[in-house]
Structure formats: C-alpha cells, structure tokens
Amino acid sequence: MVKPQGLLLVLSGPSGAGKGTICQMLREKLPDLAYSVSVTTRQARNGEVDGVNYFFKSVEEVKQMIAEGELLEYAEVYGNYYGTPRSYVMELLNQGKDVILEIDIQGAMQIKKRFPDGVFVFIVPPSLDELCSRIYKRGTDSEDVIKRRLASATGELAYANEYDYIVVNDVAQKATSKVLTIMEAERYRAARTYFIINEICHAAHKEREI
Amino acid sequence: MVKPQGLLLVLSGPSGAGKGTICQMLREKLPDLAYSVSVTTRQARNGEVDGVNYFFKSVEEVKQMIAEGELLEYAEVYGNYYGTPRSYVMELLNQGKDVILEIDIQGAMQIKKRFPDGVFVFIVPPSLDELCSRIYKRGTDSEDVIKRRLASATGELAYANEYDYIVVNDVAQKATSKVLTIMEAERYRAARTYFIINEICHAAHKEREI
C-alpha cells in the first residue's frame, strides 16, 4: 500500500483575520501536524536552537538557496532574510506528514507558484468592523499604524480568489473545524487519491497472473 | 446577504461500486437534498406521475431540448431517450438547494462539459475482488454478463482522474460520511465563497459613505 504524500496547508489572510489563533488550534487538535522551521540570516537569540526555532544561515547561504530555488518563499525584513526551505518541507510531506504554514499573502503567493499542490486557505474576518476592533484590541499599535493596517487589509482581501478556500473567522473554533473539514476532503481529491486506482488495477493484474 | 448557489453533486463510478446505496444514505441524512427528475420519451407506467417520477416528453420535444442544449446529459436506451433537464436543475441550484445526480460515467462526463462547476465524485470499490462479489451477489446476472461487467468496470476505473474526488466505498456508511465532508468543504471553495469578500468590502464602502 502506497502511503500518500502529506498535505501542505497554507494558512493566510489579511492581518487581524486571526490566522495565528486558528493555526494554534489546529496544532493542538492535530499533534502530528508538522510546522515548518524557517531559514533566517538574523542572529540566534538566547535559547534559540538551530534546526528547532530556525535554521540559522549566512546571507551567502540564503542567497544561494534562493538562486537554486531552494526556498518556497522568502522575504527580507530589516536587512535579514527569512524563508521556507523547500527540501525540509518536501521531506516531511514525503514521509506522509501534513505540514502547516501560517504566512502573509505575499509569502503564500510565492509558495503557490513553487508548490501549486498545496492547499491554500484564506482566512477572513466576518467584517471590516470586526477586523478593526481586533487590531485595536492588540493595543500595541498607534492610531496611524491601525489606519494603515486596515487600509492594507481591505486591499489584501482582493487576493481571496487566488486561494483554494475562503474561511470566515467569526468564531475561531468554528473556523478551525472548517479547516479540518477542508483537510479531510482534500485527501479524497482525485489528484491525491489516484494511486488507489493503480493499486486496484495492479491487484487485478496480479490475480490474472496467478 | 446573498444566498449562495446550491451544489450540483454528481455521484458516479463503475457499476457495482455502490453509488446507489451511498446516494440513498445521503438523501436520508439530508432531507433537503434535491434529486433531479429526468426527462424520458418512454411511456409512463402505472402510477408514474409526470413531473415526479419523470418528465414525459415526445421524441420531438427531447430532440429539440438536445438541440437547444437544454439537457445536461442524455442517453438513448432501447430506443428511448433519458436525460437531465438543465433548467430544472438550475432552478433548484439558484434557490440555494443542493442537487444530487447518481449517474454512469458517460453521463457524468457529459455533465462535466456542460456544467464544470458541479462536484464530481467517483465511487470505487475497495478492490476488484469486492466488485466481483458485489455483482455476483445481485444474483440477477448470468456468468457472461458478470464477466462483461467486470471487464467494463476495470476499463471505467481509468476515468477516475476526470473527477474532482475519489471515494473508496469499503463500508457504505463511511463512504457516505466522506461525501458529506466533501460537500461541506466545497462550500468554502474560493469560487463559491468569493461573494463574501464583496459583502465585506461593500459594507466597508457604505460605512465610509455615512
């Protein structure tokens, strides 16, 4: 019996949509769900372990990975590179493990180009009002930052149709259960399950040989 | 709030896969699930009601429907036409009702051409051994017919990758619950849910006007 490849679940959406909470809840419900370890060029902080928190790399190493298509996505933030290592993710998937990536829209769009077989889920707030109050509640942002975040969130909503699924996050637990349903259904996708047909036919072929 | 269109669920697969049982179980679990009434040119039998069991039509009427693209699929069996009326199905879908069609592979492939937004589920037996014993159990077929059925079922399995989903029917109740999961996940498909984004943005637009 062939073991099917795991799912790469890409959870994305505008900031304040609540993808972090859903990601956390999924990991609690699915202890086997793997979480990709990112590559970074920034210095390791106290207590951070290479290969656990991040893969710490030099700028040259990361640039080479980019050149060789070895990052599913990457971004430069304040002069440091952050990225998702393709080979690490592929190894997990090939072991049959599901991998979750919680990522911004730019990152998700990069992954879609390089790994279109992923399951791309766009998390949206039930309304912009709600999005606004969630950003407010964080309490860490100034009025100006909030306004900018809100404007960019509205713009980001337009990316929804680049995704496979849209999940409205009204209540995080409900939204999480919707993502679980999507993950189950995706296992029955013909493209992922076709190996079963080969197995049935192969078995039939063997029967004939006997 | 826009009411989303219903799903057209097309349940298909080789004969003996058990799609009839799954269809029956789905209808029991989902009393609101609509079942398409077919058009036919055959004579109404005792007790059959026009518009309930079939829409009874003349050959000329059906030929005209075919010419006008008014049948999602049709077949000629022993000189009689049978078909699925597009307008009847579309009316149900536009009311937001889910519609199920249990149909052979040829019919499903015709529907896919004319209504690619349908959800196409291919039901397969767990093995050809099992398929064989199910066909035997029917007890109605001669050895020759069984052999022919089995050969054609093997050929039909190759159509699996034309479908959206493949569901292995080992235990009918489990397979039914898989189809229910697929139906739920399909509701979150970006193509079906994108109207929500318009609603969020429209609401935001109205807020700005006030």
Q: Do B37-96 and B1-33+98-210 fall under one CATH topology?
A: no
CATH number for the domain whose boundaries are A37-96:
3.30.63.10
Check residue A200 and give its pLDDT. 81
Structure confidence by residue, pLDDT tens digits, A67-126: 999 999 999 988 999 999 999 999 999 999 999 999 999 999 999 999 999 999 999 988
- The closest of A201, A204, A202, A2 to B158, measured between CA atoms, is A201
Distance CA A178, CA A186 (A): 12
CATH class in words for B1-33+98-210 = alpha beta
Structure tokens at A54: 């991040």
- The identity of residue A192, as a single letter, is R
More confident residue, B56 or A205: B56
Q: What does the angle CA A29 – CA A54 – CA A138 come to, to the nearest 5 degrees?
A: 60
Distance CA A192, CA A179 (A): 18
Complex-level ipTM: 0.87
Tell me if B124 and A196 make a contact (CB, 8 A cut-off).
yes
Taking CB atoms and an 8 Å cut-off, how many pairs form between chains A and B? 114
Tell me if B122 and A190 make a contact (CB, 8 A cut-off).
yes
Identify the closest residue of chain B to A184 by CA–CA distance: B181
Q: Could you tell me the residue ranges of all domains in chain A?
A: 1-33+98-210, 37-96
CB contacts, 8 Å: B160 with chain A = 190, 194, 197
More confident residue, A207 or B140: B140
Please state the rounded mean pLDDT for residues A173-181. Answer: 98
User: Is A163 an 8 Å CB contact of chain B?
Assistant: yes
**Are the C-beta atoms of residues B142 and B186 closer than 8 Å to each other?**
no
**Residue-level pLDDT, tens digit, chain B, 210 residues:** 667 899 999 999 988 889 999 999 999 999 999 998 999 999 999 999 999 999 999 999 999 999 999 999 999 988 999 999 999 999 999 999 999 999 999 999 999 999 999 999 999 988 877 777 777 776 666 778 778 877 887 888 989 999 999 999 999 999 999 999 999 999 999 999 888 888 887 765 555 554
Nearest to B196 among A158, A168, A201 (CB): A168
Average pLDDT over chain A reads 90
Structure confidence by residue, pLDDT tens digits, A128-170: 777 777 777 766 667 787 788 778 878 889 899 999 999 999 9
Percent helix, percent strand, percent coil in chain B, to nearest 5: 50, 20, 30
Structure confidence by residue, pLDDT tens digits, A31-79: 999 998 999 999 999 999 999 999 999 999 999 999 999 999 999 988 9
A 132-161 near B (Cβ less than 8 A): 154, 157-158, 160-161
Q: Shortest Cα distance from B44 to chain A (angstroms)?
A: 39
- The identity of residue A198, as a single letter, is N
